[in-house]
Structure 1
Amino acid sequence: MKLLRRLYVLSLVFVFVLNAVVFATCLPDIRSVAKKALPAVVNISTTQIVEAPSNPFGFGFDSNDPFNEFFKQFFNNIPVKRKIHALGSGFIISKNGYILTNYHVVRRASTIRVTLLKDKAVYKAKVVGEDPKADIALIKIKPREDLPVLKLGDSSKLEIGDWVVAVGNPFGLNGTVTAGIISAKGRVIGEGPYDHFLQTDAAINPGNSGGPLLNLNGEVVGINTAIVAGGQGIGFAIPINMVKSELPYLMKGEKVKRGYLGVTVQDLTSDAAKALQLKNIEGGAIISQVFKNSPAAKAGLKPGDIIVTINGQPVLSAGDLSYKVFTMKPGVVVDFGIIRNGNNMDIKVKLGRRPTSEEMAENITSIYKTPYGFSVSNITPQLKNKYDIKVEKGVVVVKVEPGSFAYSVGIQPGDVIVKMNYKRVKNIHDLKKIISKSKDKNVVFFNIIRGTTQIFVTIQR
């Protein structure tokens, strides 16, 4: 009996140890990924100089006080230059110092400093190339020796449930490593016109922006970009394949050229598929509009056509189609699989060059070019949607000339001018009238709405 008990206990111990070994072998090897990645991850600190209204006396009046408006007009609105400091992350992609990060990390920075994690060496950096629409920037340092680099992987091979590792500097805490899984792909979160994010539950916090998201081979599959306010365990990353399609342009400092189809599309819903008696269709994009003289129009695509494949790859949604075209070069011939009147067809389209924001704006409404190096438009539904404008009256900045007076003080597309020299601006006509009647056209003062914030800008020619 004692022998049987001993054998029973030994069998339990053996099973427990065996399960522990099996469980351990199933866990991802985060340690080796972190060891490989950390030397190639950097801390990015930036300084931006902005103008803000100043109160020289440190006090004000009650909002109902008759002196309040006088006080604000003559004292609170005096612009003063201030320095704003920010932190972010990046990762090295070449031995000679090219570093990828987010555009919003280095946007309008007057100085950029990069700190290497391996030896704490600090370098000045400059922006080589940028793509604001995709929130991608390439910066460069001049290292004293060859640097460790991270290899760019293939984000198209990711599957939901795959383990990933995020590395960065959240809240300035250098070299922080977190792990999680891919929770979803192709997420649209309203961050820009080409949302197609990877969603992960690996912890991503302020300061992680620009850092790498890695697979278990230590390859970069995404750039950590966004978090959801109040959303615990939800972070987003730009798929690295989008970044790879841009690198040839960014390396040369050129404007990124995007493919252009010339259609507006909407999702093919399950209800629409049933109504059209379409079977075995898991996704697709219905063409609702074809622009005149566009590549789509020239190739014969029509409203009502349902795009189900692109170069043989399934189109899951309208956003998926936009993303796929977005990552292609102008001039490429693309094979679209479509359904028209219940029949399957293949149509080849030679993609064009995507028009710039300024070219699109010029097609929407009349443009007024000011003498200060920026152009404006009246507020239209299209511009309200494009720039998420909350006000109803004013003029929208649609173009800023590089090197102009406006550029030097930080005016940017999407800014809404509501006052000039304390006089209300409701439209282009008002702005022209104020400029023409200004006694001193060399020094002007603008009240601008940027997002939900009011700022004050002085231009001196």
Structure 2
Amino acid sequence: MVLVLAVLAGVAVGHYAQGPAPAPAPVSAAWSVPANLDVGAVTAKVSPALVNIEVQLGLDGGGAAGTGIVLSPDGLVLTNNHVVEGAATVRATDVGNGRAYDAAVLGYDRSHDIAVLKLDGASGLIPAQLGDSAKVVAGDGVVALGNAGGLGGKPIVSPGRVTALGQTITASDETTGASETLTDLIQVDADIQSGDSGGSLADAQGRVIGVDTASGAGYQFDEGARAHEGYAIPINQAAAIAAEIVAGRSSSTVHIGPSAFLGLTVVDGGNGQGALIKSLVAGGPAAKVGLKPDLLVVAIDGQPVQSATALIRVMDTHHPGDKLKITVAGQGGRQATATVVPENGPVG
């Protein structure tokens, strides 16, 4: 089965495609939208606390669309990291008031797929009411809301039920081979689609219990009826990470502020050998010191780099202006070290 993270991207670079993944947890064919789930009431409560996100990507151009959840009246917004990854600019339109705002990425946690934005000049926004994802059980009625299809305007609404808890999926970048594993996710049969990433998974009382993150193509019941499959990050986990970002507290997984830009693209070197340089940005930090395509990055500041994923994780701990000693290996394994000063660049 192949799943995708629910961001709508104009190009694949820098955005995750998901799969293969374990088979979904069984869903009873008798499960349908609960009779006591007032979808209209939930929608009316949750929609004003959402924003539609538009991203212009950096190195390779193109764009992406997703969703965000308003956390504060002055424009703090929770979304998925993969919605803004690779962004040169971010703009968000508040559903509640219809106004568009430039947005800055305060920080992100790649390993848990969470990011926090700050909308420039925002005030009087309607914050979402957050629920307690620890109290969610299989069978609960839910409503997923988001910017499905990247169309903007009012959120697309998809009701359903929680079908399983504690699910694990793996997301991999189709271009670099870098991957992240997301754990403890809420699985639902609501129709989460591309563009819904960062949107709200709400309970029957209109409280946000999860952040819409990934979608599947659906699967067959024995009797032929088709069910949808989607995944959401529990709001307790997402809100805790968001609080760390807002407080400016970096960690082994949380990056605060601008991203460190080397000006190169990499793929896995294979067999844990390093991150293979595929291309460089003309005039970028790596090009300025003479790094070339087909060299393997094997260490940064003496810390081994065994893959594209490892390189990305190391760079998440650095910022523009840091002086980095990058060790590369060429044909025959000969190594050299160059000092590179990263610049401010696209997110992540």
Pairwise TM-score range, normalised by the shorter structure: 0.5 to 0.7
1:360 aligned partner? none
2:241 aligned partner? 246
Inter-partner Cα distance in structure 2 for 1:372 and 1:228? 43
Higher fraction of strand = 2
1:181 aligned partner? 161
**Partners of 2:75 and 2:120 within 8 A in 1:** yes
1:399 aligned partner? 314
Matches for 1:203-282 after TM superposition, within 5 Å: 203-228=191-216, 233-256=228-251
Inter-partner Cα distance in structure 2 for 1:207 and 1:114? 13
Inter-partner Cα distance in structure 1 for 2:88 and 2:107? 15
**Partners of 2:52 and 2:92 within 8 A in 1:** yes
Q: Pick from 149, 156, 160: which aligns with 1:171?
A: 149
SS in 2 for 1:403: coil
What amino acid does structure 2 have at the position aligned with 1:399? V
2:41 aligned partner? 32
2:64 aligned partner? 86
SS in 2 for 1:36: helix
SS in 2 for 1:189: strand
Asked if residue 155 in structure 1 is aligned to residue 133 in structure 2, the reply is yes
**Partners of 1:377 and 1:397 within 8 A in 2:** no
Matches for 1:43-122 after TM superposition, within 5 Å: 43-50=52-59, 82-122=60-100
CA pair 125-26 structure 1, distance change in 2 beyond 3 A? same
Inter-partner Cα distance in structure 1 for 2:90 and 2:206? 27
Inter-partner Cα distance in structure 1 for 2:312 and 2:106? 25
Inter-partner Cα distance in structure 1 for 2:198 and 2:122? 23
Asked if residue 201 in structure 1 is aligned to residue 189 in structure 2, the reply is yes
Using the size of structure 2 for normalisation, the TM-score is 0.62
Gaps of 5+ in 1: 1-23, 51-81, 259-363, 389-395, 408-412, 443-461
Inter-partner Cα distance in structure 2 for 1:25 and 1:227? 21
Inter-partner Cα distance in structure 2 for 1:101 and 1:397? 20
Inter-partner Cα distance in structure 2 for 1:406 and 1:103? 26
Deviation, 1:377, is 2.3
Identity %: 31
What amino acid does structure 2 have at the position aligned with 1:178? S
Deviation, 1:426, is 5.2
**Partners of 1:101 and 1:209 within 8 A in 2:** yes
Deviation, 1:44, is 0.2
Asked which structure has the greater CA Rg, the reply is 1
Asked if residue 137 in structure 1 is aligned to residue 115 in structure 2, the reply is yes
Q: Residue deviations 1:282-339, cap 9 Å, x none?
A: xxxxxxxxxxxxxxxxxxxxxxxxxxxxxxxxxxxxxxxxxxxxxxxxxxxxxxxxxx
CA pair 404-372 structure 1, distance change in 2 beyond 3 A? farther
Deviation, 1:118, is 3.1
CA pair 140-181 structure 1, distance change in 2 beyond 3 A? same
**Partners of 1:46 and 1:113 within 8 A in 2:** yes
Inter-partner Cα distance in structure 1 for 2:188 and 2:274? 43
Inter-partner Cα distance in structure 2 for 1:131 and 1:425? 32
CA pair 397-48 structure 1, distance change in 2 beyond 3 A? closer
Deviation, 1:372, is 7.7
- Over aligned residue pairs, what C-alpha RMSD do you find? 3.8
Matches for 1:299-448 after TM superposition, within 5 Å: 376-377=297-298, 383=306, 387=309, 399-400=314-315, 401-403=318-320, 425=330, 429-432=333-336
Deviation, 1:25, is 9.8
Inter-partner Cα distance in structure 2 for 1:405 and 1:245? 28
CA pair 160-406 structure 1, distance change in 2 beyond 3 A? farther
**Partners of 1:163 and 1:215 within 8 A in 2:** yes
SS in 2 for 1:196: strand
CA pair 28-252 structure 1, distance change in 2 beyond 3 A? same
Q: Residue deviations 1:232-286, cap 9 Å, x none?
A: 611100011111222331112321468xxxxxxxxxxxxxxxxxxxxxxxxxxxx
Inter-partner Cα distance in structure 1 for 2:72 and 2:140? 27
CA pair 144-221 structure 1, distance change in 2 beyond 3 A? closer
Q: Residue deviations 1:157-196, cap 9 Å, x none?
A: 0110000111101112331111000010011112334411
Inter-partner Cα distance in structure 1 for 2:38 and 2:290? 57
What amino acid does structure 2 have at the position aligned with 1:220? V
Inter-partner Cα distance in structure 2 for 1:365 and 1:240? 38
Deviation, 1:431, is 4.8
What amino acid does structure 1 have at the position aligned with 2:168? V
CA pair 35-143 structure 1, distance change in 2 beyond 3 A? farther
**Partners of 2:34 and 2:141 within 8 A in 1:** no
SS in 2 for 1:110: strand
CA pair 43-366 structure 1, distance change in 2 beyond 3 A? closer
Inter-partner Cα distance in structure 2 for 1:251 and 1:222? 19
Higher fraction of helix = 1
2:105 aligned partner? 127
Inter-partner Cα distance in structure 1 for 2:250 and 2:330? 33
